[in-house]
Chains A and B, each alone.
Chain A
């Protein structure tokens, strides 16, 4: 049962979604320990560089309050701006596992069909080849020149069986996107 409580704050109507709240707690209970000291935001390099537009404390606050609209629909703050550098995790006085909780939120976004292109492309490559960067012919030659043996990675079929078995393929978008970013940077 979804119970909604509407409340007005900052000119925006926010909906508290109790199921979403419980869902996040189910994946990582440490979200409950947060007492909003803002140490995480103080150390976050992205928060500093975006003048607080990305704000880890706000992401946790929204998670505690079950503000699904804010996190998933509006993506404010945008959880995809987390670098996973984990400085926040190192300093958090309450051992809130921020990076993992952000992954939970990202997973929710993906399930709602909101997956950024670069993440989608990488995931598709892993699904189809078993690795994030397949070997090109040029690289094979280069490896030979450096005296390196051929390196055998996993059988793509085995990986596909495994990943399809857990429904990984169902999460991804398989249409070609308009902006075909140069794949290469991880």
Chain B
């Protein structure tokens, strides 16, 4: 436990930014409470197959950091926990937290998976973008930390029937070799004192359903980038095989549409900054999966501002045969075999054409995460007009509330390198703030 003189920092959000800030501050000697609403930390990066522009395995870079966080003497992970309220104290804040019941004792579970094998209930898995089903008792993802199961209260048969005083199922409890399952666990509300807070609750992917011209949800073979990311992940719903959702057949050609919900006054007027490069990543990885697979990327402008990004795009064009077509796809229709047909003007040839492909991937905008608005309101943090956290003019990681800082894509669309830089920056500014003893 921390001594009297150790300062405490609460970091809200266990994605790469939150993790990086935690490690930086923990290494500096501060005590960190890392608050994460899901059963495991890892965030968006855990869902990715590879990172750009090096095409390194994402989880391979993330896992050591997850381990470090878990084992760090100065970092305490509060999983399945959300911020409910906050009060300004003489020094720092008192934050009221709600920890959802996991129904599995974290110190007993050995992650053997016998409970999962027995559980009869199947639920659409949000980690896998609802492309696969998990059980009601589940591990959030394979490499997740804490590596402990959780029970989904909403779908668990036993818990649902407990309220009606019926004793149903409970098979997981019967087979658990460590007796780790505790159906009597309750949600707990507790207060935590802290000297500073870093908001790192990340971002979400825009849901393109309202863009009816693209037919997302109407046409099975039109999917989003995150769904494709899970598809090409070896640990994903199709074990890394590229398949059309309508018939599970491998497509011969695929198309990526950029700026879906970005740079659009009807949805989000800003550029989401990373989609041009991550679609390039997807196209390169697709060719690595299948050397006959042809990828088309439909763009307005190719934005590749990060280190190595332009080179990455040139590689895609020259080494991986990716065809970049300038011209935004206006609408998608399908033929009798559910092949998407794209309608566009090719701005290099001025031809008004249509192109039939096997699968379409919509590169959707990066929007503030679902709980962001509520959290900001609770903390008193000002948001900008897009509902990202408003940075102060003198320091991008400072918010309008002294002692509350922000890091990562909660501030705006950004890629992993920038989130990490941001996070370390926030850690440094927080440390500075704490060392000065400001109020």
Contact = CB atoms under 8 A, between A and B. Distances in A.
Q: Do chains A and B touch in the complex (CB under 8 A)?
A: yes
Interface of A: 35-44, 47-48, 51-52, 55, 57, 91, 93-95
B228 interface: no
B330 to A, nearest CB: 3
Contacts of A38: 326-328, 330, 344-345, 347
Contact of A41 (B263, B326, B352): B352
Contacts, number: 63
Contacts of A42: 327-331, 343-345, 352
Given A42-B330, A55-B352, A94-B265, 5 more contacts: A38-B330, A38-B344, A41-B352, A43-B331, A52-B352
Interface in B293-326: 300-301, 326
Given A55-B352, A93-B265, A48 B300 contact: no
Interface of B: 213, 259, 263-266, 300-301, 326-331, 343-345, 347, 350-352, 354
A52 B354 CA distance: 12
Nearest to A49: B352
Contacts of B266: 93
A20 to B, nearest CB: 23
A181 to B, nearest CB: 29
Closest 6 CB pairs of A and B: A42-B330, A43-B330, A52-B352, A93-B264, A41-B345, A38-B345
A43 B345 CA distance: 9
B300 A37 contact: yes
B426 to A, nearest CB: 33
B133 to A, nearest CB: 36
Given A41-B345, A42-B328, A42-B330, A47 B213 contact: no
Name the residue in B266, B330, B354 with the highest tally of chain A Cβ atoms < 10 Å from its Cβ: B330
Given A37-B300, A42-B329, A48 B265 contact: no
A39 B328 contact: yes
Contact of A43 (B213, B326, B347): B213
Contacts of A51: 351-352
Nearest to A95: B265
A43 B265 contact: no
A37 B347 CA distance: 9
A60 B266 CA distance: 20
Contacts of A47: 345, 352
Nearest to A41: B345
Nearest to A92: B265
Contact of B263 (A36, A40, A55, A93): A93
B23 to A, nearest CB: 40
B255 to A, nearest CB: 13
A48 B353 CA distance: 7
Contacts of A57: 345
Contacts of A41: 327, 330, 344-345, 352
A47 B354 CA distance: 12
B345 A55 contact: yes
Contacts of B213: 43, 91
Contacts of B259: 37, 93
